[in-house]
Amino acid sequence: MQLYEGAFPYCERRTAEHHVRIAAENEDFYPQELLVRTTGEPAGILYYWHWPQHALLFIEHLAICPHLRRLGYGHAALSLAEKPDTCVILEIEPVVDARTAGRLAFYRSAGYEMLPNEHVQLPYHADSSPVPLLLLAKHTGGVGVPESTVQLLEYLLKNQVMC
């Protein structure tokens, strides 16, 4: 939880209690702690939703421990989540500085492309407002991302992920 809370602002993350409840109640949600294979030390977190019946996967949160960044763990984490012939979609903050530009460059280097759709993340908390974010996607089958897939994701975000 320390990495999760440090990597994402309050408005972009669940409380610990909400996180535990979502994980217990949703078979489509996969919270994973990433470990360094040789030492067993925590390397990061990867939380994603997978709907195989729709060939859709949504990466909700990915964070790598600061001292392990730029060592390939982020790309390895993405490859763990990517399923064959599946559209993988994730959100990032709009590019406004070197940090957010670096995040976009990281995902582009992993084969993700920015979608033209306007997107707003619904609030995780009653005292928060919606957050404008960018959508990035990669289809592991090498095909484009149809508009219907983005519409389906928006529906699933509103009716399952953000509940």
**The predicted structure's pLDDT at residue 38:** 83
List the one residue out of 117, 160, 140 whose CA is nearest residue 22. 160
Q: What predicted TM-score, i.e. pTM, was given to this entire model?
A: 0.93
Q: Is the pLDDT of residue 36 over 90?
A: no
List the one residue out of 24, 11, 5, 1 whose CA is nearest residue 91. 11
Indicate the pLDDT class of residue 37, thresholds 50, 70 and 90.
confident
Higher pLDDT, 111 or 142: 111
8 Å CB contact between 156 and 49: yes
**The predicted structure's pLDDT at residue 76:** 94
What would the pLDDT profile of 88-108 be if each residue is shown by its tens digit? 999 999 999 999 999 999 999
List the one residue out of 52, 38, 115, 108 whose CA is nearest residue 81. 52
Helix boundaries (H) for 8-81: 16-25, 73-81
Max Cα distance, the chain (Å): 43
- For the chain, what is the domain count? 1
CATH (domain of 70): 3.40.630.30
Structural domain including 55 reads 2-161
